[in-house]
Amino acid sequence: MKHRSPRGMRVHAAAAALLLAALVLSGDVLPALGGGAPSFDYKDALTKSIMFLEAQRSGKLPPNNRIKWRGDSGLQDGELAHVDLTGGYYDAGDNVKYGLPLAFTVTTLAWTALAFTNELQAAGELDNVHAAVKWGTDFFLKAAAKKNHLWVQVGDPNADHQCWVRPENMKTPRTLYEINENTPGSEIAAETAAAMAAASMVFRNEKLYSRRLLNKAKLLFQFAKTHRGTYDGECPFYCSYSGYNDELLWAATWLFLATKRQVYADFISHEAISSSVAEFSWDLKFPGAQVLLAELNMTSGGGLQSFKAQADNFVCAVLPDTPFHQVFITPGGMIHLRDGANSQYVTGTAFLFVAYSDVLLRTNQVVMCGNQPVQPARLREFAKQQIDYLLGANPEGRSYVVGFGVNPPTQPHHRGASTPVLPLGYVVNCGMSFNDWFAPDRPNPNELTGAIMGGPDGSDHFTDKRSNSSCTEPCTYINSLSIGPLAALAIRGANLLATH
């Protein structure tokens, strides 16, 4: 079942500024929580995290598919409109391809490939991450074939949720959803533009492909900002709670990075709206854009505030040891914003903290929380702690990554992993499917290797039951955001200092 997030938390900078604090915030004086530094096989976790994305692939699988229990699926996707919309990724435990979170998954994968190139290369995973990006962008090129038009979803979620069937055998309606000039969707159009612009940088060496991506990205951004509106067709499964200003800023940022064209800088400086928030997620991308823009040293939305100050606000709102602290941290030390795919906030924050600490070191700066400096080392320490929590350094003493570490989850809420491999063409009785494959209290027959679970609740409790989707459902963007920090931990070592 789906669970999507309510509105993002705003940072109340003015109220928080009233608080006084004399903490000296630095990685040197604040030891890692839990004392003894846990160590994990980060390289193994990295490899497996990428494999989960392979298990989410829709379409005709390539011969080098590593997930033996997965086969071709969704081969008729698009047929209802006589177009080819095969490929792309299933989002989570169901068999729907949702455009907004899919595009965010690809944008963050592309950013990972760009920001952690050396680490991924050293770990032997760069090609796999490139392939993961391409599996998404190949799909977007089909979805964005026509101007001012984008196919934004394949599969009717309500019908899909009536059947516990693996994608290879599904007969549920593959309903198509689209946006156009009359039914705009600035969030999805801009997020898809961001994904394609970022990917155009990843594939710079493949000139033709890169140029195709960039051209589509420009057109989609133009569409997003000229025909403004929120598309609510993915609601209630993926409603945009935060509006589209964050996606417009994010897309313009990626387009500026990819093209260096003044028109995008002008949009960022004079037209875009940017605000400080305490969340980075499929719905809310402000902090991601602000971290990227902090390095470019631009000011925010024509105002005086710099993006650096807003990126700092994100850090200050998250860290428990600042007076501006706003995000709930469980007794065991995990960020907990809300039940259901909560791990996205854990991996997302870890990702941004590592990426931002690298920006800070490159530009010789620190985070300022009011007048308190926070060193990049503290960001890294916190990022490591969040990742370590998911890998096993938590009160339940178990891994939240399938097939990794101590006592990993066995019942991911996931159709493909929990149903047996059936002959092609086998017709599943949807009525019986829940009795046969969803309800039984037994491990999934297929290991969903590398899937990071939605995760524990706000009291660090986890229930390894398929029926508890808020604990056991995986999502593509939880994993996409884990790959960068895992690569950094695997290659740079525990202090996350870049070796290049």
Ligand X SMILES: *[C@@H]1O[C@H](CO)[C@@H](O)[C@H](O)[C@H]1NC(C)=O
Of 10 and 465, CB closest to ligand X: 465
CB-CB contact of 108 with 344 (8 Å): no
CB-CB contact of 194 with 175 (8 Å): no
* CA–CA separation, 333 and 394 (whole Å): 8
Minimal distance, residue 218 CB to ligand X, in Å = 27
> Helices 186-202 & 245-259, crossing angle to 10 degrees?
20
Question: Which positions from 293 to 312 touch ligand X by CB under 6 A, shown as an x/- string?
Answer: ----x---------------
Minimal distance, residue 184 CB to ligand X, in Å = 36
Of 99 and 333, CB closest to ligand X: 333
Of 182 and 364, CB closest to ligand X: 364
Strand 176-180 and strand 97-98: pairing? unpaired
Catalytic residue among 130, 325, 336, 413: 413
The stretch near ligand X (CB under 6 A) out of 7-15, 98-106, 243-251, 465-473 is 465-473
What's the burial of 135, exposed, middle or buried (CB within 10 Å: 0-12/13-18/19+)? buried
Minimal distance, residue 468 CB to ligand X, in Å = 4
Of 298 and 487, CB closest to ligand X: 298
Minimal distance, residue 461 CB to ligand X, in Å = 4
**Which residues have C-beta within 8 Å of that of residue 175, sequence separation ≥ 6?**
80, 153, 154, 155, 156, 159
The stretch near ligand X (CB under 6 A) out of 75-83, 376-384, 427-435, 468-476 is 468-476
The stretch near ligand X (CB under 6 A) out of 61-69, 264-272, 428-436, 466-474 is 466-474
3-state secondary structure of 324: coil
Q: DSSP class of residue 303?
A: S
Minimal distance, residue 178 CB to ligand X, in Å = 34
Of 125 and 295, CB closest to ligand X: 295
Helices assigned H by DSSP within 203-339: 207-226, 245-259, 262-266, 286-296, 307-318
> Helices 245-259 & 207-226, crossing angle to 10 degrees?
150
Question: Which positions from 30 to 49 touch ligand X by CB under 6 A, shown as an x/- string?
Answer: --------------------
* CA–CA separation, 24 and 12 (whole Å): 22
At position 438, the amino acid (one-letter code) is F
> Alpha carbon of 230 to those of 238, 274, 344: distances in Å?
12, 18, 23
* CA–CA separation, 195 and 214 (whole Å): 10
Minimal distance, residue 462 CB to ligand X, in Å = 6
Question: Is residue 460 within the footprint of ligand X (CB under 6 A)?
Answer: no
Minimal distance, residue 395 CB to ligand X, in Å = 12
Among 162, 463, 494, 498, binds ligand X (CB under 6 A): 463
Of 133 and 453, CB closest to ligand X: 453
The stretch near ligand X (CB under 6 A) out of 46-54, 369-377, 412-420, 456-464 is 456-464
Minimal distance, residue 453 CB to ligand X, in Å = 11
Angle at 454 between CA 325 and CA 415, to 5 degrees: 165
Question: How many CA atoms, within 13 angstroms, populate the side-chain half-sphere of residue 282?
Answer: 29
What's the burial of 246, exposed, middle or buried (CB within 10 Å: 0-12/13-18/19+)? buried
Give the footprint of ligand X on residues 94-123 (CB under 6 A). none
Of 363 and 407, CB closest to ligand X: 363
Angle at 246 between CA 194 and CA 211, to 5 degrees: 15
Among 142, 468, 494, 497, binds ligand X (CB under 6 A): 468
Question: Is residue 363 within the footprint of ligand X (CB under 6 A)?
Answer: yes
CB-CB contact of 9 with 337 (8 Å): yes
Of 196 and 337, CB closest to ligand X: 337
- Write down the number of H helices and E strands in the chain: 18, 5
The stretch near ligand X (CB under 6 A) out of 76-84, 256-264, 413-421, 462-470 is 462-470
**Which residues have C-beta within 8 Å of that of residue 124, sequence separation ≥ 6?**
none
Of 177 and 462, CB closest to ligand X: 462
Among 52, 351, 389, 462, binds ligand X (CB under 6 A): 462
Among 7, 146, 270, 461, binds ligand X (CB under 6 A): 461
Q: Is 413 a catalytic residue?
A: yes
3-state secondary structure of 198: helix
Q: Which of 321, 322, 320, 297 is closest to 308 using CA atoms? A: 297
The stretch near ligand X (CB under 6 A) out of 244-252, 408-416, 441-449, 463-471 is 463-471
Question: Is residue 457 within the footprint of ligand X (CB under 6 A)?
Answer: yes
The stretch near ligand X (CB under 6 A) out of 97-105, 177-185, 375-383, 461-469 is 461-469
User: Terminal CA-to-CA distance of the chain, rounded, Å?
Assistant: 43
Catalytic residue positions?
A: 413
Binding site for ligand X (CB under 6 A): 297, 363, 457, 461-463, 468, 470-471
